[in-house]
Amino acid sequence: MEKSPSKLDLITEFFADFTPRQLEQLAALDELYRDWNSKINVISRKDIDHLYENHVLHSLAIAAAFEFPSGAKVLDIGTGGGFPGIPLAIYFPEVEFLLADSINKKLTVVKEVAAAIGLTNVTTRHTRVEDIKDRKFDYVVSRAVAPLKDLWQWAKPVLNKRPSEGNFPASGLICLKGGDLGQEISESRLRPRVMEIYELFPLDYYREKYLLYVHR
């Protein structure tokens, strides 16, 4: 019988370009999140066994769909335990990430995980995202946090106006979402580009089945 791929193999199946250092960082996540999650709950207990599929690979859908330029600044709204911010920061070591959440203890996990794997491109901020007024970003990312209307209201004021350039998208909001997308989009009065995660990875177990992009 064919051996089923280990969870980390599932990621390398879709991303062939990780360096040995990035693979080490990814491999370290399993134990780090298990350990921290037993002290501060950031991932549901049953989901911790599916870290790579449900959290890491899902977060990396953003990297499968978009390339961020070196030096870009990215804000992760409502990062919780670091998703999508931590996997993206591993993937894009030349990009600066601010991971924000209104619950400080979740950020303890983010800081500890980032430090343990030597991520120097991640900072955190304990704040409600609507209170961030002192910085601008090229991209805002988010997963499972709020309706599109609210995400855009928070993201728009902190986004730079950066045009698209080569493979790099124009500045904007990129979010992973599930639920009743039709109603959410019509309430937002926006016209996001919508991609199905399934088109990026043929896996059908995501609650947040869609990736939405709204450019500034």
Binding residues for S-adenosyl-L-methionine: 78, 83, 129-130, 143
Q: Please, which residue, 72 or 132, has the CB nearer to ligand SAM?
A: 132
The helix (H) or strand (E) run that includes residue 32 is helix 20-39
Binding positions are: 78, 83, 129-130, 143
- Which x/- pattern, by CB under 6 A, does the window 112-131 give for ligand SAM? ----------------xxx-
For ligand SAM, the binding residue among 87, 90, 92, 101 (CB under 6 A) is 101
Q: Helical H runs in 40-141? A: 58-59, 61-65, 85-91, 104-116
144 contributes a contact to ligand SAM by CB under 6 A: yes
- Alpha-carbon distance of 4 to 198, in angstroms, equals 20
Least separation in angstroms between residue 190's CB and ligand SAM is: 18
Which tokens in the block code for residue 183?
A: 């109603």
Element (H, E) at 96: strand 96-101
CA proximity to 66, closest of 92, 90, 86: 92
CB 4 within 8 A of CB 10: no
Is residue 83 at the binding interface for ligand SAM, with CB under 6 A as the rule? yes
Q: Is 138 in the site for ligand SAM (CB under 6 A)?
A: no
User: Does residue 173 interact with ligand SAM by CB under 6 A?
Assistant: no
Binding site for ligand SAM (CB under 6 A): 78-81, 83, 100-103, 106, 128-130, 143-146
